[in-house]
Structure 1
């Protein structure tokens, strides 16, 4: 199996032969374009998560999967081609860039890697820093073919043998809910927060460590696994970790924000949170 990750050193050696996408993003904050222009991996093109990697909010949650044509055009505009490897990164531990990694693979790109350690690791490793806006050297020819990775929809979620909630423990327990209008979690889910996937230096734990981490939560690969989070974005971090551990996992794209749009769906834990 090819690792879903690429180290800063490997990216340094590959520059010029890969397409690099900068997917900086913060929940509730401005887009990452300004941060990109202040400093980025040379040649990397900024991609906006809200407008290019998600559809408008609605019954599908805060970040529904983008329309296929919209995503394909965004990737072509960023220079993505079918026959050229892609590397994605952010400055948020891979929590936003993982969305681009997953979407490209879901739509059929065969060679996509996530920069391990994200932007801080690139800088710490002595990687070159470019400033200003970056335009792709050429328009890409990427052809989106959706359906290449597994997903589960709302009507299937309660039947998933092992359902993983990737949110912070206090949100999972329903003790606090700073974003969505209802607190709690989907009944039957187990909690493996994205923060536990990483070592102190911000890079992913070893496959052996990840297998032990998920096994402790009852995720051992013997039964089908699906992952969700608040809006279907950061859940991919757990999917990356599970892939490193050798455990395939599906994504519930609507996640918690989509689940609670139907008041008839069951909720475990408190049933109200911050508006």
Structure 2
């Protein structure tokens, strides 16, 4: 097979998986027009339309679906064969793409990035931090990081550090005007920042004590999904915030924020690095796992 043939097949495989020429171009590191040209050349060469294209969507024809079903395992075998060459190198070689929630990425990945790259100079990390719920298979990631409760079937999950805990925090100025809540029920008398997913869905503040679990739908003029913005609003004395304790820790230590309802905050949550159960484990991904996993 000619090199150009393999490149065209790889371009088609990327578009078919992502259902997007733009995302395929980002994965392949070329322009969307180059991907489109490669797919068009492939269709012209085989004499069959493989993709249905509109201005808003890309879908597979029956022929395209059949081709993808046979290409995916083949490209997986190629990737596995190339990765096997790592046994002849001192350190892993290649790219690893990771997705992580923006709200927790800094204190999960921040401490390990430097040592990981220093120990593996041939490793290339691409980290995309977003609180949007991402399908790592569809969007071309090797692995993702999430809380265990949001993992879906068909994934292998590895428990990683650190454990996370939430905190309810407010500024001294805020508590000069209002008595700190003694129980979650008291939050109905407080101004609170509503926690929001990027989709716009508001989620409750959750509490637990002595086996009793309570979800509170708080009220307030702000709805945010970024924990940094929540902390800034809390520092300004606008409202109480429900944020990851690690994010608030420097301000709690300096006294610029005060925590309340500590005895009602549930146990720390474990985080997991997850990847498709059927995916071969590259040497690069194994290095990432070893850097993050709980020992």
User: Shorter-chain TM-score category?
Assistant: under 0.3
Larger Rg: 2
Structure number having the greater strand percentage: 2
TM-score (norm 2): 0.21
